Amino acid sequence: MTTGAQRVDWVDAAKGMCIIFVVMMHSTIGVGLAMGGEGFMHWVVSFARPFRMPDFFLISGLFLGLVIDRPLRRYVDRKVVHFAYFYVLWLTIQFVFKAPGIAMEDGAAAALTDYLLAFVEPFGTLWFIYILPVFFMVTRMVRSLPVRFVFAWAALLEMLPVHTGWLIFDEFCARYVYFFAGYAFATRIFAIAEWLRAYPGRAFGILALWAPVNAALVFAPAPAALTWLIQPETGFSGQTGGWSELPLVSLALGLAGALAICSLAALVARLRGAAWLTWLGAHSIVVYLAFFLPMAVSRAILVKTGIVTDPGLVSLMVTTAGVVGPVLLYGLIHWSGYGRFLFERPSWAFLDRPGEPQDRARADRPISA
């Protein structure tokens, strides 16, 4: 356990890995488009594609069983209002930077329309915190149903070729099974992590088997006759059309990859030098909310100056800026005492206010699930 209340070190380490992969994906895609080429980072992004978001969602459901039976008002406050506050705030912040460009190209009305539509269709990188409350509420509604039934239903949704064009619906179908698995099988997942910690040699052996299988299925092209079953990842410019994206295969790789990252995190978290990774995971929402600006600025500077011409190296540098930038901002806010509202919900934004000071501290903590 970590020093924070109810924190588990390997869970935070896994979150840290996930947020790095997420920033890496967006950074690499942007650099590839801006430079008109791809580098070694595109291969890394492609390798992580089957498990990058499944792992994030699985981890988000791990502790839900501890709070799912709370009074409805408190549950909605912690699992809906919490994320709604950060979504509206950071949607507005992003539009402060993006609206001028939209207005110059399509007019002021288009900028306002895009902003309002973002309350129905999640905007850009913020879709993750938009959909989490949906997962929390759906899981509360189905918690009395047999686990096997709900898991089978969610797995079927993941395997169906759902391409409606409505992001929130398509992503629900594609991702809910992983969130529910984290909630429903949390006890087993924690047991697996503890077993792997006890036998690190076996853990590394399992990971050594999983990695090449994952890579082979990612980079081996699927038969042309089956490509219609593949659900595209919006804006993705890396390797696509592999076996890993076919129904059933994607589900198996998503679950296996999520467990692999949890296993790796269970091993890494024991290392003395892993404190930065667990801290990053414990504050993953800080990075998720704020990485867009340092990512965009660093990409623009590097591409415009042309000091570095290799897309892979530029992608790595932009990824680093995207991770480090929000951390520096978070540290500056806590050092100065100004701007805490960016990552901590103020008292007026609570539907059900915490009673005790220690409860308030935990509720204000800028952590996701």
Average pLDDT over residues 158-165: 86
Task: Using the predicted structure, report yes or no on whether residue 150 has a pLDDT greater than 80.
Answer: yes
In a domain, 351, yes or no: yes
**pLDDT for residue 245:** 85
Q: What is the pLDDT of residues 320-348, one digit of tens each?
A: 999 999 999 999 999 999 999 999 999 99
How many Å apart are CA 170 and CA 160, to the nearest integer?
A: 10
Task: Using the predicted structure, report yes or no on whether residue 234 has a pLDDT greater than 60.
Answer: no
Strands (E), 122-183: none
- The structure tokens listed for 156 are 């079927």
Task: Using the predicted structure, report yes or no on whether residue 16 has a pLDDT greater than 50.
Answer: yes
Instruction: Tell the burial category of 38 from Cβ atoms under 10 Å away from its Cβ (0-12, 13-18, 19+).
Output: buried
If pLDDT is split at 50, 70 and 90, which confidence band does 318 have? Answer: very high
Indicate left, alpha or beta for 367 from its phi (over 0: left) and psi (-120 to 50: alpha). beta
In a domain, 155, yes or no: yes
In a domain, 232, yes or no: yes
Instruction: Give percent above pLDDT 70 in the chain.
Output: 89
Q: How many Å from the N-terminal Cα to the C-terminal Cα in the chain? A: 17
**pLDDT for residue 132:** 96
Q: What is the pLDDT of residues 256-266, one digit of tens each?
A: 999 999 989 98
- The structure tokens listed for 200 are 């690190």
How many Å apart are CA 295 and CA 26, to the nearest integer?
A: 9
In a domain, 2, yes or no: no
Ranges 60-64, 83-87, 109-113: which has the least confidence: 109-113
Q: How many domains does the chain have?
A: 1
If pLDDT is split at 50, 70 and 90, which confidence band does 77 have? Answer: very high
Ranges 168-172, 226-230, 245-249, 322-326: which has the least confidence: 226-230
SS3 for 279-314 is HHHHCHHHHHHHCHHHHHHHHHHHHHHCCCCCHHHH
Average pLDDT over residues 182-204: 91
In a domain, 369, yes or no: no
Phi, psi dihedral angles at 5 (to 5 degrees): -65, 130
Domain that includes residue 339, residue range: 9-364
Of 365 and 283, the structure prediction assigns the larger pLDDT to 283
**pLDDT for residue 154:** 97
DSSP character at residue 3: S
| Reported pTM | 0.89
- The structure tokens listed for 23 are 């920033």
Which residues have CB under 8 Å from 218's CB, separation 6+? 46, 47, 49, 50, 239, 242, 243, 244
- The structure tokens listed for 314 are 């530029």
What b/e string do you get for 260-276 counting C-beta neighbours within 10 Å, with b at 16 or more?
bbbbbbbbbbeeeebee
In DSSP terms, 242 is beta-bridged to 221
In a domain, 102, yes or no: yes
Q: What is the pLDDT of residues 284-316, one digit of tens each?
A: 999 999 999 999 999 999 999 989 999 999 999
**pLDDT for residue 124:** 80
Alpha helices in 118-199 (DSSP H): 127-142, 147-159, 167-184, 186-198
In a domain, 1, yes or no: no
In a domain, 323, yes or no: yes
If pLDDT is split at 50, 70 and 90, which confidence band does 240 have? Answer: low
**pLDDT for residue 227:** 66
